[in-house]
Amino acid sequence: MSLFQKHEAILNKAIEALHSRIFFAAFPEHPAPAIYGETADADAQTKFKNQLGKKFEELKQTNSVSWGGQEESPYTQEALNISYPIFSVDTLINNSKKAFHQWRKILAQERAGILLESLDRAKKRFFEIAYATMHTTGQGYMMAFQASGPHAADRALEAIAAGYEELNRFPAHALWDKPMGKFNIQLNKEWRAVPKGISLVIGCSTFPTWNSVTGIYGSLMTGNSVLVKPHPGAILPIAIFVAEIQNVLAENNLDPNTCQLAVDTFDKMITKELAEHADVKLIDYTGNSAFGSYLEALPGKVVFTEKTGVNSVILDSVEDVDKAAANLAFSVNLYSGQMCTAPQNFYIPADGINSPAGKISFDDFAQKFVAQINGLVDNPKAGPFVLGAIQNKKTNERVVEAEKLPGKVVLKSKHIENPQFKNARTATPVVVEIDSNKKEVFSKELFGPIALLIKTKNTDESISLAQEMAMKHGAISCAAYTTDNSVKEKIADEMALAATPVSFNLIGGIYMNQNAAFSDFHVTGGNPAGNASFTNPEYVTKRFTWVGHREPVKG
């Protein structure tokens, strides 16, 4: 049985889900022993600890010039001391060029089988990837498992399915028969999906696999070779994925350099050198807007970006204010606000929010919101694990600076102790009340656990400001609370024009931060927060070109 036959059923289900947009998950998100094995967690924890202080020797790349690595655990604030092979840019490019010409000629079915098999191998290492993610990003255990393991694998599968679907949209061959009266003109025609070349995937420090695998697998599925350039602070999680891809390639007599890990260090970064190289044709990037805009401006490149944005919450009216406040408080606390989808600007009318129990004043909502935040962070069984740890020291500094913003500090940030990691770098949310005329304060992303309660004249101004922020500065998510259908439609329409999806009236176990593979488009590509979307057809069709050949039929 071929690898394609082995995994064909799951691929067909993924393609069906792409079209139906209903719930589908190929990889279970719950780390249950019954699913992943009784000793899977303990074995992975041991393997992670045994990797500390050693060389990561799983890659099948050769001719490294040195070894290096500068990862630090936000939980222990100590270096992991894991070193990775470092390669010259010339070696990476030359290896990738050579591998490309072998990989591009592999049939789409064979490519799909190999890539699906690599995900199946990665599944066996989800717990190991989880610990690697915890100790590079600061995510809590459950998020680290889900986001870097099953959810990332689902996004990778989605990219494979989307690529496979597009590669099979048109026939490879056709007889073209044109009647011309007394005779016909007949041509044999063929079409080839020609990949662009070398693809560079630039990783981020907070979601090293979830934000990278879509580009990696999207490019590989469409026949491109890939260079994975992880963030120097978060290498190990994606290194495991790359190692498994290389293993399957080698087992099938294909060049493992088809997908290479391009590690660098903070003091000698190679991102620009790779991005500007003439042989690099595709670039995937997650990170700050300044560097993203630089990449988008590079000539001769097809670039897919997810950049910074200003995410809004529009509060008009609620069925249950306490449930709404609880949902939003969790969204702010989740991974200490270090998510591109986390809420920042909360637009609240000065005269309050309507509810069945009467008007909820601005101050009353602020108090309820703060009480919900405190209730979570002060719960020793929940707070430390929902908050996780702060990945970057600069985020801690940003939280401190937020308390100096020109507004009223409703809630100060504080450090809480993690019972498992006494040295964990933590910061609870800071909440600041801001007047709506202070646009210079809230018109930029304040990455981290920072919430701004913006007092507006009315809901119309709230909608207008949310739309303006999205159009001018980008937005990846938006939440809205209203019991009025006409207001709901206005918000949906105005935010759609700003290319921003809206989550309405969330009160249960789903939050505006979350996006589901096969159903939610992550980023729309329609505002300054990014020019691409996980995963619409354009996300994969721009990675290859259709080229047709024709020849007269011989009589």
**Does the pLDDT of residue 264 top 80, yes or no?**
yes
> What is the CB neighbour count within 10 angstroms for residue 314?
27
Write down the pLDDT at residue 148.
97
Pair 227, 354 in one domain? no
Q: How far apart are CA 506 and CA 484, in angstroms?
A: 15
Work out the end-to-end distance of the chain between its first and last CA atoms, rounded to an integer number of angstroms: 40
- Our separate counts of H helices and E strands in the chain read 20, 17
Pair 241, 146 in one domain? yes
Pair 340, 286 in one domain? no
- Find the angle CA(336)-CA(305)-CA(503) to the nearest 5 degrees: 50
Confidence of residue 220 (pLDDT cuts 50, 70, 90): very high
Alpha helices in 104-231 (DSSP H): 108-123, 126-137, 141-148, 150-167, 213-221
Q: How far apart are CA 516 and CA 26, in angstroms?
A: 12
- Find the angle CA(450)-CA(454)-CA(457) to the nearest 5 degrees: 170
Pair 431, 294 in one domain? no
Structural domain ending residue among the three candidates 487, 504, 521: 504
What length does the chain have?
555
Pair 392, 249 in one domain? no
Alpha helices in 378-418 (DSSP H): 383-387, 393-402
Strand order in the sheet with 502-504: 408-411, 430-435, 450-456, 345-349, 312-315, 478-481, 502-504
- Tens of pLDDT, residue by residue over 496-509, are 999 999 999 999 88
Pair 382, 289 in one domain? no
Write down the pLDDT at residue 254.
98
- Tens of pLDDT, residue by residue over 54-81, are 999 999 998 999 999 999 999 999 999 9
Domain of 123, CATH number, reads 3.40.605.10
Pair 88, 201 in one domain? yes
Tokens of 555: 């009589």
Name the DSSP letter for residue 279. T
Pair 200, 339 in one domain? no
- Tens of pLDDT, residue by residue over 121-178, are 999 999 999 999 999 999 999 999 999 999 999 999 999 999 999 999 999 999 999 9
Alpha helices in 259-402 (DSSP H): 271-276, 289-296, 321-333, 362-377, 383-387, 393-402
Structural domain ending residue among the three candidates 504, 524, 541: 504
**Does the pLDDT of residue 555 top 80, yes or no?**
no
Does a structural domain hold residue 293?
Answer: yes
Does a structural domain hold residue 382?
Answer: yes
Could you tell me whether strands 259-261 and 280-286 are parallel, antiparallel, or unpaired per DSSP bridges? Answer: unpaired
Domain of 467, CATH number, reads 3.40.309.10
Q: How far apart are CA 18 and CA 499, in angstroms?
A: 20
Q: How far apart are CA 353 and CA 313, in angstroms?
A: 13
CB 227 within 8 A of CB 199: yes
Closest CA to 390 of 445, 337, 450: 337
Does a structural domain hold residue 359?
Answer: yes
Write down the pLDDT at residue 508.
85
Structural domains in the chain (count)? 2
Q: How far apart are CA 340 and CA 477, in angstroms?
A: 8
Q: What percent of the chain has pLDDT over 90?
A: 99
Structural domain ending residue among the three candidates 307, 333, 352: 307
- Tens of pLDDT, residue by residue over 367-376, are 999 999 999 9
Confidence of residue 261 (pLDDT cuts 50, 70, 90): very high
Does a structural domain hold residue 2?
Answer: no
Pair 162, 120 in one domain? yes
- Quick one: average pLDDT of 266-279? 97
Pair 115, 231 in one domain? yes
Confidence of residue 26 (pLDDT cuts 50, 70, 90): very high
Q: How far apart are CA 314 and CA 482, in angstroms?
A: 8
- Tens of pLDDT, residue by residue over 483-497, are 999 999 999 999 999
**Does the pLDDT of residue 48 top 90, yes or no?**
yes
Does a structural domain hold residue 256?
Answer: yes
- Tens of pLDDT, residue by residue over 103-118, are 999 999 999 999 999 9
- Quick one: average pLDDT of 342-362? 96
Does a structural domain hold residue 548?
Answer: no
Pair 246, 211 in one domain? yes
Pair 268, 321 in one domain? no
Q: How far apart are CA 401 and CA 236, in angstroms?
A: 31
Single-letter amino acid, residue 213: V
What's the maximum distance between 2 C-alpha atoms anywhere in the chain?
88
Q: How far apart are CA 318 and CA 332, in angstroms?
A: 19
CB 309 within 8 A of CB 286: no
Does a structural domain hold residue 468?
Answer: yes
Does a structural domain hold residue 536?
Answer: no
- Tens of pLDDT, residue by residue over 276-300, are 999 999 999 999 999 999 999 999 9
Q: What percent of the chain has pLDDT over 70?
A: 100
- Tens of pLDDT, residue by residue over 445-456, are 999 999 999 999
435 lies in which domain range? 312-504
Name the DSSP letter for residue 256. G
Q: How far apart are CA 323 and CA 372, in angstroms?
A: 9
Helix (H) or strand (E) holding 491: helix 485-497
Mean pLDDT (the chain, rounded): 97
- Quick one: average pLDDT of 41-64? 96
